[in-house]
Amino acid sequence: MSKECDVDKIKTELLGREKPRFPVEIGEMYEGERIRRPEMLVEFGSITVEKKWELVQTRSMDEVEDGKVTLMGPDLPELEQGGAYPLGILVEVAGAKVEKDLEGVLERRIHYFLNYIEGVMHLNQRYDIWIRVSKKSYGKGLNSLIWIGKALVWLYKSSFPVIEKIQVTLYTDKAAVEALYPKAMEVWAARDKRARELKDEDVQEFYACVMCQSFAPTHMCVITPNRIASCGSISWFDARAASKVDPKGPNFPIVKGACIDPLKGIYEGVNKAAKEKSLGSIKGVSLYSMFDNPHTSCGCFEGIAFYIPELDGIGIVHRDFKGPTVNGLSFSSMAEHTSGGTQNPGFNGVAIEYLRSPKFLQAEGGWERVVWIPSAIKQRIFDGIPEKMRDLVATENEAKTVNELKEFLKNRNHPVVSRWKEKAAEAVTEEVKEVSAEAPVVEVMPAGVELPAMGGFKIILKNARITAEKIIIKRAEKK
**Residue 456 predicted with pLDDT over 80:** no
Helix axes 174-195, 103-114, angle to 10 degrees: 130
pLDDT of 341-359, one tens digit each?
999 999 999 999 999 999 9
Continuous segment of H or E residues that includes residue 422: helix 416-426
pLDDT recorded at residue 17: 55
What average pLDDT does the segment 130-136 reach? 97
What average pLDDT does the segment 8-21 reach? 67
pLDDT of 176-194, one tens digit each?
999 999 999 999 999 988 8
User: 130-134 and 370-372: which strand pairing?
Assistant: unpaired
**Residue 217 predicted with pLDDT over 70:** yes
The residue with greater pLDDT, 11 or 401, is 401
The residue with greater pLDDT, 300 or 433, is 300
- Using CA atoms, how far residue 346 sits from 274, 316, 338, 465, in Å, is 20, 12, 9, 21
Nearest to 228 by CA among 93, 394, 351: 351
**Contact (CB, 8 A) for 189 and 228:** no
pLDDT recorded at residue 403: 97
CA distance 287 to 343: 12
Whether this prediction's pTM lies above 0.75 is answered by no
What does pLDDT average to over the chain? 88
The residue with greater pLDDT, 443 or 378, is 378
**Residue 381 predicted with pLDDT over 60:** yes
Q: What band does 16 get if pLDDT is binned at 50, 70 and 90?
A: low
Nearest to 156 by CA among 109, 120, 202, 225: 109
pLDDT recorded at residue 362: 97
**Residue 8 predicted with pLDDT over 60:** no
pLDDT recorded at residue 450: 47
pLDDT recorded at residue 429: 47
Cα 188-192-195 angle, rounded to 5 deg? 145
What average pLDDT does the segment 224-250 reach? 92
* SS3 assignment, position 56: strand
CA distance 271 to 43: 39
Taking only Cα atoms into account, the Rg of the chain, rounded to an integer number of angstroms, comes to 27
pLDDT recorded at residue 86: 98
Q: What band does 105 get if pLDDT is binned at 50, 70 and 90?
A: confident
pLDDT recorded at residue 390: 97
3-state secondary structure 14-55: ECCCCCCCCCCCECHHHCCCCCCHHHEEEEEECCCCCCCEEE
